[in-house]
Amino acid sequence: MIAFLVTFLLVFFIYLLLTAGSGSVGFWSASELIAGAGLGIVVAGITRKFLCRSDNYRMTNPLRFLLIPVYILGPFLIEVTVANIDVAMRVITGRIRPGILRVSSGMKTDLGIFMLANSITLTPGTITVDIDEETNDLFVHKINVTADEEGKTVTPARELFSFADIPAWIRRIAE
C-alpha cells in the first residue's frame, strides 16, 4: 500500500511539473489534474513493485529528500566544476596517465552504491567501469592516476574527490 502511494505521488508530481501553466486552478486546469490523478493510479498500480523493490522507505522522509538538491547544488557542483577545468587543461595539454583503480565505496545499500557510482561517473576524469557486487567495490577508470594511487591495491572513495567529502554526503542522504 505504501509502495502504491509513493509511486502515485511521484508520478502525479512529475505530471504536474510537465503540465504546469495549463489553466486556472493554481497553475493547472481541472482536466489536467484529473488526467494526472487517473494516470498516476494506473501507472502506480502497474509499476509499484519496481520503484520500491527493496521494501525500504527511508527515502520517503522529506528531510532526506530535500538534502538531494542541496547536495547537487553544493558540494557536487563544486567538484564537477573543478574537475571540468582540470580535464579541460588535459585536453589542451594532452598530459594524461590513465588507469583503472579499485575503489572501496564503504556503502551498504543499493541506493548508496547507485548514487556514489553516478556521482563518480558524472565527475569528469573518473568513470565507473564495473562493480564487485560481493564487496561493493567500484572499478574506476581515472584519466590521471598518481604514483601514490598506482601503488595501492584499494583506493578509498574519498580520495577521488578534491574538496568535498562526497561519500559522507551520500551516506547522510541514502543510509
Partner 1 sequence: MIAEILIVACLAVGSFFNILGIIGLLRFPDVYTRMHATTKMTTFGSVFTALAVIIYGVTAYLDSVNSQYAVLAIHTLIAAVALAFTNALGSHAIARGAHRAGIKPVQAVVDRLEEVGP
Task: Report residue 7 as a C-alpha cell.
Answer: 509511486
Nearest to 116 by CA among 99, 98, 101, 104: 104
Computed over its alpha carbons, how large is the radius of gyration of the chain? 20
- Which of 40, 44, 75, 123 binds partner 1 (CB under 8 A)? It is 123
Residue 131, classed as helix, strand or coil, is strand
Decide: is 132 part of the binding site for partner 1 (CB under 8 A): yes
Q: Mask 92-111, x = binds partner 1 (CB under 8 A)? A: x-x-xxxxxxx---------
Nearest to 126 by CA among 158, 93, 169: 158
From 59-67, 79-87, 105-113, 163-171, span contacting partner 1 (CB under 8 A): 79-87
- 10 Å Cβ neighbour count for 127? 16
Give Cα separations from 174 to 82, 97, 129 (angstroms): 25, 33, 22
106 versus 125: smaller Cβ distance to partner 1:
125
Distance in Å, CB of 30 to partner 1, minimum:
16
Asked if residue 78 binds partner 1 (CB under 8 A), the reply is no
Residues at the site binding partner 1, with contacts judged by CB under 8 A: 17-18, 20-21, 27, 80-81, 83-84, 87-88, 91-92, 94, 96-102, 117-118, 121-125, 127-130, 132, 139, 141, 143, 145, 149-150, 153
